[in-house]
Amino acid sequence: RKEVEQDPGPFNVPEGATVAFNCTYSNSASQSFFWYRQDCRKEPKLLMSVYSSGNEDGRFTAQLNRASQYISLLIRDSKLSDSATYLCVPTGGGNKLTFGTGTQLKVEL
Amino acid sequence: DGGITQSPKYLFRKEGQNVTLSCEQNLNHDAMYWYRQDPGQGLRLIYYSQIVNDFQKGDIAEGYSVSREKKESFPLTVTSAQKNPTAFYLCASSPGRDSRNSPLHFGNGTRLTVT
């Protein structure tokens, strides 16, 4: 099993829709998680940190399911500007952070 | 403003030449990292450093070398031994040595093309 697995997508959704995608991880010792957003040909930028069961920031909600070892990202009221690739990063491997390959989201008119 | 600066943004080299990518941060971060990203793929760790004068190999260190003589600087050299050097290179830093509580801050990347 890969350390981090994400559905690459793309997820094509209409503007205003709610979309969710999951990230599964193999290291049961992972204690905290990060979601990054990466625009095409740009660097990843931190979207959200998750240190407990979840986190919410405006239209974005992250939920952690430790029993099943996955973390989800929910985006409500999608905007065109949300179009990007979302990278999941579980911690727990010392100082080596392993990035998922990312899930591509395309929000359309 | 504090941040991480990578230069140059685009770099072109001939096969067989070594090339050094610059990464400087003024965030006073202890840890620094180099990642490589290929089209349609995730980030892969090349090298990382938790403290000055110390660094560790990541998952794909072959064909690369680094130095950490100063806290602010972590240059990456892509040597001629690297089989497929063309890629997007990202430098990152984090405040602490424990990644669990320290998300990474990224530079804006260097796109290296070797022909």
The model's pLDDT over B6-61, given as tens digits with 9 standing for 90+, comes to 999 999 999 999 999 999 999 999 999 999 999 878 899 999 999 999 999 999 99
Neighbours of A34 (CB within 10 A): 24
Neighbours of B64 (CB within 10 A): 21
Look at residue A94 and tell me whether its pLDDT is greater than 70: no
Looking at residue A30, what is its pLDDT?
83
Supply B114's token pair: 């070797």
A43·B103 Cβ contact <8 A = no
B79 CB-contact burial (10 Å; exposed 0-12 / middle 13-18 / buried 19+): middle
Residue of B40, B90, B99 lying closest to A43 (CB–CB)? B90
Looking at residue B96, what is its pLDDT?
74
Task: Sort out which chain A residues have CB atoms less than 8 A from B106's CB and list them.
Answer: 43-45
Across A74-98, average pLDDT: 88
Looking at residue B24, what is its pLDDT?
97
Look at residue A79 and tell me whether its pLDDT is greater than 70: yes
Look at residue B100 and tell me whether its pLDDT is greater than 70: no
Looking at residue B97, what is its pLDDT?
64
pLDDT over 90 percentage in chain A: 71
B107·A41 Cβ contact <8 A = no
Strands (E), B1-115: 4-7, 10-13, 19-25, 31-37, 43-51, 54-57, 64-66, 76-78, 87-94, 105-106, 110-114
What does the alpha-carbon distance between residue B5 and residue B24 come to, in Å, rounded to a whole number? 5
Preceding amide of A10 cis, omega within 30: yes
The model's pLDDT over A21-61, given as tens digits with 9 standing for 90+, comes to 999 999 888 888 999 999 998 999 999 998 888 899 999 99
- For residue A95, what pLDDT band results from cuts at 50, 70 and 90? low
Cβ atoms of A32 and A96 closer than 8 Å: no
Q: Which residue has the higher pLDDT, B103 or B37?
A: B37
- For residue B99, what pLDDT band results from cuts at 50, 70 and 90? low
The model's pLDDT over B58-98, given as tens digits with 9 standing for 90+, comes to 999 999 999 999 999 999 999 998 999 999 999 999 987 66
What does the alpha-carbon distance between residue A108 and residue B66 come to, in Å, rounded to a whole number? 43
Neighbours of B100 (CB within 10 A): 19
Q: Confirm or reject contact between B46 and chain A (CB < 8 A).
A: no
List all residues of chain B from 1 to 30 with a beta carbon under 8 Å from chain A.
none
Q: Confirm or reject contact between A8 and chain B (CB < 8 A).
A: yes
A80 φ, ψ to 5°? Answer: -55, -35
Looking at residue B102, what is its pLDDT?
78
- Reference A3, options A41, A39, A33; nearest CA is A33
- For residue A80, what pLDDT band results from cuts at 50, 70 and 90? very high
Q: Confirm or reject contact between B54 and chain A (CB < 8 A).
A: no
A76 conformational bin, left if phi > 0, alpha if psi -120 to 50, beta if neither:
beta
Cβ atoms of B108 and B7 closer than 8 Å: no
